[in-house]
Amino acid sequence: MRKNVIVLTAVALVFIFALPSVGLAGPPDGATMVFGRPDLGSGCNFPCEDDASFHAVDKIQPGAVTISAGETVTFDVVGFHQVAIYEPGIAPKDIEPNDTTFPFLNDPNGRIFLGNPPIPPLDPDASFTFTEPGKYLVICNITPHFEEAQMWGWVIVR
């Protein structure tokens, strides 16, 4: 009888301490935003007669994420896109394209992060750890994507 109690106690302790390692500890910290949806739209290249294609493909999904200060957002870049992040207080209307760097927008005012350009062998995927609370503008740094497809979103840090 005593041997059974010891074995059951040992099994219970192993199970309790194993819970976090089997994924029962809760969701991971941070969030993921996907730049581009090549599975949507008609597949035509810009400019399209069917502008729904351009607007469907060149989006950030989801359009906003909320995280806690100290967490990281991963940007999964699919297609010809470049991640740019702006400090709190910057809105899409504040972004000014630089005509000399087309197709890249390249407005440095208030920009706190610029990912790799989508030029092989560089990997345009990116991640950024947000340490201060605020509402951060995230855009695609490709001028037509930002201006025409309104390819921008928000990271809200609490």
Asked if residue 21 is part of any domain, the answer here is no
Asked if residue 11 is part of any domain, the answer here is no
- This prediction has a pTM of 0.76
Total domain count, the chain: 1
Q: What is the CATH number of the domain that holds 118?
A: 2.60.40.420
Q: Using one digit for the tens of pLDDT, what is the confidence trace for 1-29?
A: 555 444 444 433 333 333 333 333 334 57
Q: Using one digit for the tens of pLDDT, what is the confidence trace for 102-139?
A: 999 999 999 999 999 999 889 999 999 999 999 999 99
**According to the model, what pLDDT value does residue 49 have?**
57
Asked if residue 135 is part of any domain, the answer here is yes
Rounded to whole angstroms, how far apart are CA atoms 141 and 1? 70
Domain hosting 150: range is 28-157
Asked if residue 92 is part of any domain, the answer here is yes
Partners of residue 139 on adjacent β-strands: 84, 152
CA torsion through residues 92, 86, 70, 116, sign: positive
Average pLDDT over residues 67-83: 94
Among candidate residues 134, 127, 118, 22, the one with its CA nearest the CA of residue 79: 118
Asked if residue 123 is part of any domain, the answer here is yes
**According to the model, what pLDDT value does residue 47 have?**
60
pLDDT-based confidence at residue 45 (cuts at 50, 70, 90): low
Average pLDDT over residues 59-79: 94
Asked if residue 94 is part of any domain, the answer here is yes
How many percent of the chain have pLDDT more than 70?
70
Q: Say which residue, 91 or 37, is predicted with more confidence.
A: 91
Asked if residue 1 is part of any domain, the answer here is no
In this predicted structure, the answer to whether residue 80 has a pLDDT above a threshold of 70 is yes
Asked if residue 106 is part of any domain, the answer here is yes
